[in-house]
Amino acid sequence: MRAALSLLLAAWLGASLLFATVVAPAAFRVLPSRALAGSLAGAVLPVLFWTGAAAGAVTFLVLRQRAARRWALGVALALTAASLGAELVVGRAIARVRAEIGPNLEAVSADDPRRIAFGRLHGVSVLLLGIGMLSAGLLLVYELRRDPERRADSR
């Protein structure tokens, strides 16, 4: 179970890091329009957020069964909450603003309230992805450092 949990966390963290550091910047650099790059990112992010929520929930359940440290349980919940918040709250709000603006965000004035709202929501989405990535990293280190001989961690 320890290896499976570590693999789950490492895979999600790796996918998130790849997206944030390679895929998204490359999309905005090489695609012919920012709108197209945004559409690509918007298609990938739900997958990251749903799998992040699942990874956090599975980790929480496994750690709870092992009577793990309370802080680790909290970090697993943070991964789950950040992912669900990013997808269900922020992602849906971004979709509503994008529908109002239309396909070309760049055509809207920088001082337009919808564009400002989009920028803020985007920032919150990035923050929540970062919280999820930090949480997954902490949980991965916790799992890798855990003494497999111990049945339960001391509180």
pLDDT digits (tens), the chain, 155 positions: 888 999 999 999 999 999 999 999 999 999 998 888 988 999 999 999 999 999 999 999 999 998 889 999 999 999 999 999 999 999 999 999 989 988 777 888 889 999 999 999 999 999 999 999 999 999 999 999 886 655 454 44
Q: Are 13 and 140 in contact (CB under 8 A)?
A: yes
Give residue limits of the domains in the chain: 2-145
**What is the DSSP code string of 30-92?**
HSS-HHHHHHHHHHHHHHHHHHHHHHHHHHHHHHHHTT--HHHHHHHHHHHHHHHIIIIIIIH
Distance CA 67, CA 62 (A): 9
d(Cα 155, Cα 153) in Å, to the nearest integer?
6
pTM for the structure as a whole: 0.88
